[in-house]
Structure 1
Amino acid sequence: MKLTVLVDNNVYIDHYYYGEPALSFYIEDGEDKILFDTGYSDIFLKNAAGLGIDLSQVTKLALSHGHNDHTGGLSIISDIFTKQKPEIVAHPLAFFPKKEEDVVIGSAVTLSELKENYRVRLTKEPIKISKNITFLGEIPELVNFEPRKQVGETKISQSYTPDYVLDDSALVFEGQDGIFVITGCSHSGISNICEYAKQVTGTQTIKGVIGGFHLFDINEQLEQTIRYFQENHITSLYPCHCVSFHAKAKIQSQLPIEEVGVGLHIEWY
């Protein structure tokens, strides 16, 4: 599997790409080409062009969840997929309206609009999206230190209700020596996601994790998360997007982590 970071909060020095507080990864697994999230704007497309990546060849478009820093680019995908149209995979709650106070934080493109031109597969259950990659669907709570937290509100019926981001999902790649977890924001909890990935694949060895861990504060949850990483002997950690400097520094004080920025290219086997 090959993964390239198209969008992240961070851009490497002397690498002339665009950054924004969002996330998008381009992934190749054999013949399958996967776009995981689309960032907040059109910069995933600009960065892909600068990196020599032809997004028109994408076969699957998987969404980690419905927030606009991961779905914003959906508004321009018709400019990319003029011939080959990828299947779009997401959790069933991903496209319901979302807001935080008076600010809209959900997808600007509705499910009905997408269905006019694309096959959209909504699933709570894990499904294979390539030979070695599984979309995990709805993540259960499997550890006791990562309770779901409210992020704004969502309108599922007639009125807005607290949103615990049940649509937050992730990908898992099954490699030769273990699994690699690929996350968007980890609203479900990074350790919950890793545990579920182990459960779904039947593989107990986690070789690496890349993506947003949704960790900001130096607190007991962060300490427990670091302990979880240590107990699982995870050798490659790539926290990005929604991880604060202080949280990264705390993890780095006990475990080596890698710097992530637009243009990062990783190959796992």
Structure 2
Amino acid sequence: MKLTVLVDNNVYIDHYYLGEPALSFYIEDGDEKILFDTGYSDVFKKNADLLNIDLSQVTKLALSHGHNDHTGGLNTISSIFTKQKPQIIAHPLAFCPKKEGELIIGSNITKEELQIDYDLLLTKEPVKLSPNITFLGEIPELVDFEPRKQVGETKLSEVFTPDYVLDDSALVFEGQDGIYIITGCSHSGISNICEYAKQVTGIQTIKSVIGGFHLFEDDSQLDNTIEYFKRNQIDALYPCHCVSFQAKAKIHYELPIEEVGVGLQIEWH
């Protein structure tokens, strides 16, 4: 399996790609070519062109959740997928309207609009995207230090109600020596995601984690997360997107972390 970072907050020095406060990964596993999130704009397309990645060959488009820093690029996919239409996979609540105060933070494209041209699979249950990669669906609370936190409001029926981002999901790759976790924002809690990936795959060894960990403050949750990573003896951590410098620094003091930026390519077996 090969993963390329198309969008992240960070870009490397002397590598002339575009960054934005968002996330998008391009993943190849066998015959499947998977786009995981689309960032906030068309930056994922521009970086793919610079990296000589042909997005028109994508077979699956998976969304980690419905916030617009992960779904914003959906506005531009009609110009990419003119012939081959990928299946789109997301949680059933991903396309519900979302706001924070007066700010719209959800997808600008509705599920009804997508269903016109695409095979849209909305699922709470895990589903295979390739022989080795699974979309985890809805993540349960499995550790006591990662309660779900409200992020704005969502409209599930007639009125807006507090949004605990139940649509937040992730991917897991089953490698030869363990599992590898690929996250968007980890609103569900990065440790909850890792524990659920163990349940879904039946594999207890976590080799690596890449994506947003949604850690910002130097608090007990960060301390407990670091202890969780240490207990699981994870070989490589790639925190990006929604992880503060303060949180990265504290993790790195205890466990070495890898730098992530647009253009990073990782191969797992």
Alignment map for 1:149-188 (pairs within 5 Å) = 149-188=149-188
Q: What is the aligned length?
A: 269
The yes-or-no answer on 1:104 pairing with 2:95 is: no
Q: Which residue of 1 aligns with 2:61?
A: 61
Letter in 1 for 2:82: T
Q: Which residue of 1 aligns with 2:44?
A: 44
- Following the alignment from structure 1 to structure 2, what is the Cα–Cα distance between the partners of residues 112 and 76? 16
Q: Which residue of 2 aligns with 1:90?
A: 90
Q: Which residue of 2 aligns with 1:20?
A: 20
- Following the alignment from structure 1 to structure 2, what is the Cα–Cα distance between the partners of residues 199 and 239? 23
Q: Which residue of 1 aligns with 2:146?
A: 146
Q: Which residue of 2 aligns with 1:190?
A: 190
Letter in 1 for 2:113: E
The yes-or-no answer on 1:132 pairing with 2:132 is: yes
Letter in 2 for 1:149: K
- Following the alignment from structure 2 to structure 1, what is the Cα–Cα distance between the partners of residues 184 and 148? 16
Shift of 1:157: 0.6
Shift of 1:11: 0.3
Unaligned ranges ≥5, structure 1:
none
- Following the alignment from structure 1 to structure 2, what is the Cα–Cα distance between the partners of residues 156 and 31? 37
Shift of 1:215: 0.1
Q: Secondary structure at the match of 2:4?
A: strand
Q: Which residue of 2 aligns with 1:77?
A: 77
- Following the alignment from structure 2 to structure 1, what is the Cα–Cα distance between the partners of residues 117 and 236? 38
- Following the alignment from structure 2 to structure 1, what is the Cα–Cα distance between the partners of residues 16 and 117? 34
- Following the alignment from structure 2 to structure 1, what is the Cα–Cα distance between the partners of residues 242 and 210? 12
Letter in 2 for 1:90: A
Shift of 1:45: 0.1
The yes-or-no answer on 1:33 pairing with 2:43 is: no
- Following the alignment from structure 1 to structure 2, what is the Cα–Cα distance between the partners of residues 157 and 88? 23
User: What TM-score comes out, normalization by structure 1 length?
Assistant: 1.00
User: What TM-score comes out, normalization by structure 2 length?
Assistant: 1.00
Letter in 2 for 1:222: L
Letter in 1 for 2:167: D
Letter in 2 for 1:18: L
Q: Which runs of 4+ in 1 moved over 2 A?
A: none
% identical aligned pairs: 78
Q: Secondary structure at the match of 2:117?
A: coil
Q: Which residue of 1 aligns with 2:252?
A: 252
The yes-or-no answer on 1:203 pairing with 2:203 is: yes
Shift of 1:247: 0.1
- Following the alignment from structure 1 to structure 2, what is the Cα–Cα distance between the partners of residues 208 and 223? 19
Shift of 1:18: 0.3
RMSD: 0.2
Shift of 1:258: 0.1
Letter in 1 for 2:128: K
Letter in 1 for 2:68: N
Letter in 2 for 1:245: F
Shift of 1:120: 0.1
Letter in 1 for 2:138: E
Shift of 1:250: 0.1
- Following the alignment from structure 1 to structure 2, what is the Cα–Cα distance between the partners of residues 58 and 106? 24
- Following the alignment from structure 1 to structure 2, what is the Cα–Cα distance between the partners of residues 3 and 129? 14
- Following the alignment from structure 2 to structure 1, what is the Cα–Cα distance between the partners of residues 74 and 130? 21
